[in-house]
Amino acid sequence: MSAVIEAKQLTSVRAERLLFSELSFQLQTGEILHVEGPNGAGKSTLLRIIAGLLEPLAGSIHLFGQPQWGDPECWRRQLLFIGHKPAVKAELSALENLHFQATLDGVTNVDAWALLETVGLLGLEDIPAQQLSAGQQRRIALARLWYSQASLWILDEPFTALDTYGIQLLHERFQHHLQQDGVIILTSHQPLTWSGDRLKKIRIEFQDDGELHE
């Protein structure tokens, strides 16, 4: 079976510090990759590289056999990236944020009210996002997962600030995506509940001597 995504020999340097080198992995349909490691090790950097938001110093990534930089538009359509800070507009309400996100994602037929209900924000639709709690803002950002058509989800700390029910909801959504042959790459400082061979892990550690020498 061919891989959905294949990363080969990735190397990244930030602020003159080597974060990781020659890092490789591949994922088949229905697999989830948990990127682990201490604060500052380079997990978000790796996710941003996979999402095409940062260039690695070396290495390559293929999605469905296509090189990352071959057709950037096509690449972007096939993945969904949600960063570790909820990208919500502070002055817009929850409902307006959902419309705004869907428009940015190029989705025109979203039922924002149904989405609000799904992510547990019904009744809070008119409140500006800046007045919502951290977990409620996270739910706005994660609502994209309920309409996304992308095969590959790249999620940086998606569980942050979520309560027990929110975490369960997200797990159920992940399960559904994987059953639909989707693929997920995420960071999380909390352990994941998946078991078996559908869960893969890579760990990024601080390099012994991350300083770059001439």
Ligand X SMILES: Nc1ncnc2c1ncn2[C@@H]1O[C@H](COP(=O)(O)OP(=O)(O)OP(=O)(O)O)[C@@H](O)[C@H]1O
Task: Decide whether 60 or 207 has the Cβ nearer to ligand X.
Answer: 207
E-state strands within the chain: 5-14, 17-27, 32-36, 58-63, 66-67, 79-82, 152-156, 183-187, 199-203
Task: Decide whether 43 or 177 has the Cβ nearer to ligand X.
Answer: 43
Q: Which residues contact 42 (CB under 8 A, 6 or more apart)?
A: 12, 14, 19, 20, 204
Binder of ligand X out of 41, 115, 124, 152 (CB under 6 A):
41
Least gap, CB of 2 to ligand X (angstroms): 29
Applying CB under 6 A, does 40 fall inside the site for ligand X?
A: yes
| Count of residues engaged in binding ligand X, rule: CB under 6 A | 11
Applying CB under 6 A, does 203 fall inside the site for ligand X?
A: no
For the chain, the first-to-last Cα distance in angstroms comes to 42
Neighbours of 191 (CB within 10 A): 8
Q: Which of 170, 169, 207, 204 is nearest to 32 (CA)?
A: 170
Least gap, CB of 33 to ligand X (angstroms): 15
Task: Decide whether 36 or 125 has the Cβ nearer to ligand X.
Answer: 36
Binder of ligand X out of 43, 138, 139, 173 (CB under 6 A):
43
What is the distance of C-alpha 180 from the center of its chain? 17
Burial call 11-46: b when 16+ CB within 10 Å, e when fewer: ebbeeeebbbeebebebbbbbbbbbbbeeebbbbbb
C-alpha to C-alpha distance for 114 and 133, rounded to whole angstroms: 21
Q: Tell me the window of 22-30, 40-48, 124-132, 190-198 that interacts with ligand X (CB under 6 A).
A: 40-48
Binder of ligand X out of 7, 19, 82, 132 (CB under 6 A):
19
Least gap, CB of 86 to ligand X (angstroms): 15
Q: Tell me the window of 32-40, 63-71, 104-112, 142-150 that interacts with ligand X (CB under 6 A).
A: 32-40
Task: Decide whether 85 or 176 has the Cβ nearer to ligand X.
Answer: 85
Residues near ligand X (CB under 6 A) are 14-15, 19, 37, 39-45
